[in-house]
Amino acid sequence: MKVAIVTHSSTFEDRAEAVAQFFEEKGHTAVRVFSDFDHHGKRTVQREAENHVYIHLRPYTRNLSLTRLMAIRRFALDAGAYLESGGFDLIYFMIPANSFAAEAERIRRKTGVRVIFDLIDLWPESLPLRAAAHLTPIRRWRNLRDHHLGCADVIFTECGFYREQLDLPENRTYTLYWCKLSGDNKYRASGERIRTDPGGAPNPEKTAVHDNATRDNVARDNIAHDNVAHDNIAHDVIAHDAVVDDAVVRKSSCPEQSLRIAYIGAINNIIDIPRIAYLLGALNRRRKVIADIIGEGEHRDDFIRELRNSGVETVCRGAVYEEDRKAEILSRCCLGINVMRTDVHVGLSMKSIDYLSYGVPLINSIKGDLWEFASTCGIGVNIPDNLMTMTEEDLNLILDRLIAVAEDPQARRKCVDLYRRNFTQEAFNRTLERALEEQKLLPRSSIIA
């Protein structure tokens, strides 16, 4: 069977690679259809790898803009032209882009190809513009996805929370959590060569793109789906070995005299800086707090300033690419910050999976899957939306819980256990296998018992 896995976003490529490897291990041909644009670095790159096709995506600098939306729509059309003529038996679309759904239905009607949708972010639902939800452009954007969901043989959602938000068919919808690929399994470790064009502009003499791809040099800005749930710094190098070394748990500690609290990821407009600063400031009055920040972003200075104004000592390390170094930093941290604005529409975050993989309990505000995990599995403390207006008595109860989790040696073990059950590549493959078996998208002979 010939399978295509399609995404326009460099942020989603690790997930696409995990899907491709699943099919390849079963003896099928898996072609990755990616863009030639690095979302985090905001630059065009020339890449070459076996069973990878790179289609041009116009460069952009701003995440929130109509121009980015238009460019992604162009990419969807170009990818659709390639997929239609590629002789594929199955196409796996990662959404967003919402326009992939419309292309998928068009291709299916014309060729009869089987289709899988993987809903990784919900746009426009996650825009901090709730009052604009019923405006015609916003409705049309949402309908690009919703009006075409019915063409999919299988629908995956990156978290169970999304299944509650959309009207999805229960009999063919599955929750497929993100996994972290080990270094040996990452596509760039398997031979991909990358060259960056200076200034991010595509070079038509160097950049290998599909014949149908547009080659205009129109700079484009784009609407921010990646910044919401998938906010990790250096996403392509963030994953460590899928099997967590027990030494990570054993050697980790939280000295009695202070609480070292980690923040991993992009410091952007979807984290709730005022609520984080308020909470850590209150906790600092009970026990000295050191905020250890691994990441960069447009609101880094605001974040540091708010924390320091709240009396919290901060250590800002910037982007950390070396896994050993990151493991060393996190082994000294007793809690990890996963607090987003109340209007952010996610049930899971990549930073939370990072924390769990290193055995760091969460300070969590995300509803849905993570809220349930923290409530039932002992892997952190949930922070309510009204934190900054609650009574002193209620605030102290939350602070007590945070200190108790930070000092609980079993909390780290619970985090690692949850990670192993839900977020490894083995867990990822089990879900894919069950879904494809139940929906008869793979012959039974290829299903591993």
Quick check: 310 and 284 in contact, CB under 8 A? yes
- Phi, psi at 207, each rounded to 5°: -85, 120
Q: Which amino acid type is present at position 412? A: R
Average pLDDT, the chain: 83
Q: Degrees (nearest 5) of the Cα angle 108, 112, 115?
A: 55
Cα–chain center distance at 184: 20
265 closest CA partner among 290, 240, 305, 300:
300
**What's the pLDDT band for 254 if we cut at 50, 70, 90?**
low
pLDDT in tens, 156-172: 999 999 988 888 999 99
pLDDT in tens, 406-427: 999 899 999 999 999 999 999 9
Report the chain's C-alpha Rg in angstroms. Answer: 22
Quick check: 154 and 174 in contact, CB under 8 A? yes
**What's the pLDDT band for 226 if we cut at 50, 70, 90?**
very low
Q: How far is CA 203 from CA 9, 67, 147, 188, 207, in A?
A: 20, 21, 37, 22, 6
Give the least confident one: 200-214, 279-293, 345-359. 200-214
Cα dihedral 392→338→344→398 (10° resolution): -20
pLDDT in tens, 67-120: 788 889 999 999 999 999 999 999 999 999 999 999 999 999 999 999 999 999
Q: Which amino acid type is present at position 83? A: L
Cα–chain center distance at 109: 31
pLDDT of residue 134: 73
Give the least confident one: 88-102, 252-266, 280-294, 309-323. 252-266
**What's the pLDDT band for 129 if we cut at 50, 70, 90?**
low
Please give the structure tokens belonging to residue 40. 């985090």
- Phi, psi at 332, each rounded to 5°: -95, 0
pTM, rounded to two decimals = 0.81
Quick one: residue 224, left, alpha or beta (phi over 0 = left, psi -120 to 50 = alpha)?
A: beta
On the 0-12 / 13-18 / 19+ scale of CB atoms within 10 A, 436 is buried
**Statement: residue 373 has pLDDT above 50:** yes
Distance, CA of 116 to CA of 149 (rounded, Å): 10
**What's the pLDDT band for 376 if we cut at 50, 70, 90?**
very high
CB atoms within 10 A of CB 322: 10
